[in-house]
Amino acid sequence: MVRLLAVAAGMIVANLYYAQTLVGPISASTGLSPGAAGLVVTLTQLGYCLGLLFIVPLGDRLENRRMIVTGIAFTSAALAAAALAQSALVFLLAALCIGLGAVVAQVLVPFAAHLAPQARRGEIVGKVVSGLLLGIMLARPLASLVAGYAGWHAVFAGGAIALVGLALVLHHKLPQRLPVAGPAYPQLIKSLWHLFATTPVLRRRAAYHAALFGAFSLFWTTAPLHLQGPGLHLSQTGIAVFALVGMAGAVASPVAGRLADAGHTRIATGVALSLGTVSFVLPMLAPASRPVSLALMVAASILLDMGVAANLVLGQRAIYALGAEVRSRLNGIYFALFFAGGAAGSSIGGWIYATHGATGAMAAGLALCALGLAYWMTERKTVNPRAA
């Protein structure tokens, strides 16, 4: 069941990232200007944020299997619309809907936490999140490879077909999970603010990951543009290989889960944020040599993906310890807040790259990571997770 949940989470969330390495061809095909190219990624993340706030909390109230299968079907329809899009407006609306539907991945992760024994919760959540992160990391090279041979429309068409198959499998394999009767939907949504206001650990973990994920989104929005540009001249296949190497960062997820289970969350968080900071320093050291510049970009992508993978699991392990009855809502708030950071990162990334080039984009990513690291330095050891 853990393997199935990991594969499913990866397949669902991958749909958020197909566009990251296709910003150039999608923008050219639909008529988006270079300064607005970041909207290709931003609208998907915005839809995801809205879904996290208004759909994921229903995981504490509705039967989870039906909710997951319905969300996957909706995402498949949105992908089909993106595949058929000929204008920027149609594609951007489809991207928003892809984000809304893909939030059911964040019903799957608390589902795994619900099934896991307390002593192994961090490890098992780490395994499912590893699948989720592999989906993110595979999405980029897969999209580039498919687009290089069949065009970007084929990427979204293939994603739509794959999700139909996944929905059928999950309908037959997932156990039913009907949460204990909770508050009505208006009260459920109203409770989100109360949970946010009364749970310091949630606010702190969301701030850490909003900074790191904003930098991550900025990097993967601008890196393909930089790699295709003057000096590096990579093809879509070359960008696919570059993104594939970054998958090595996923190994950090289960390691971070075990460290959290052993009580080392704070120091592991500092390491994760430091990895993100270093990852933006490396490309700024790049000399005129093309091979060295590429090597530094590859190293940066691996370190950044490791930092993001580890910090995500550490944050989820911390908030899942706060109570099963509010787990979906806490998870929804956590993801909504850091995806807002991601949407901001991808949006400003396209604009900064268009106006200040790759160096300006890397400097902006470095600033985001440094802010997260500076905030981490204010953290004190605590016994009560709600008072972290």
pLDDT at position 34:
66
Q: How many domains does the chain have?
A: 1
% of the chain beyond a pLDDT of 90: 37
Confidence of residue 129 (pLDDT cuts 50, 70, 90): confident
pLDDT at position 181:
65
Lowest mean pLDDT among 47-61, 195-209, 323-337: 323-337
Q: Of residues 239 and 365, which shows the higher confidence score?
A: 365
Confidence of residue 287 (pLDDT cuts 50, 70, 90): low
pLDDT at position 366:
95
% of the chain beyond a pLDDT of 70: 94
The residue whose two tokens read 């039906």 is 66
Confidence of residue 137 (pLDDT cuts 50, 70, 90): confident
pLDDT at position 92:
92
Q: Closest Cα to residue 209, out of 27, 335, 347, 300?
A: 335
For 327-351, the pLDDT digits (tens) are 778 888 888 888 889 888 887 887 8
For range 106-127, the mean pLDDT: 76
Q: Of residues 346 and 34, which shows the higher confidence score?
A: 346
- Does 388 score more than 60 pLDDT? no
For range 61-85, the mean pLDDT: 93
For range 30-55, the mean pLDDT: 82
Please name the residues in contact with 214: beta carbons below 8 A apart, sequence gap of 6 or more: 338, 341, 342, 344, 345, 368
pLDDT at position 386:
45
Looking at residue 255, its amino acid is: V
- Does 119 score more than 60 pLDDT? yes
For range 133-141, the mean pLDDT: 82
CA 175, distance to chain mean position in Å, is 26
- What CA–CA distance (Å, rounded) separates 213 from 371? 12
Q: Which of 111-115, 189-193, 289-293 has the highest mean pLDDT?
A: 189-193
| Alpha helical stretches, state H, the chain | 2-13, 23-30, 39-54, 64-84, 88-102, 105-115, 121-150, 152-173, 185-198, 200-228, 236-245, 252-261, 265-284, 290-320, 327-376
CATH number at 97 reads: 1.20.1250.20
For range 307-316, the mean pLDDT: 90
Looking at residue 319, its amino acid is: I
Q: How many helices (H) and strands (E) does the chain have?
A: 15, 0
Lowest mean pLDDT among 169-173, 186-190, 206-210, 299-303: 186-190
Lowest mean pLDDT among 81-90, 161-170, 281-290: 281-290
In the predicted model, what is the mean pLDDT of the chain?
86
pLDDT at position 155:
95
Q: Which of 43-47, 59-63, 159-163, 309-313 has the highest mean pLDDT?
A: 159-163
For range 176-189, the mean pLDDT: 79
Segments forming the whole domain that contains residue 165: 2-387
CB burial class (10 A; 0-12, 13-18, 19+) of residue 190? exposed
pLDDT at position 348:
87
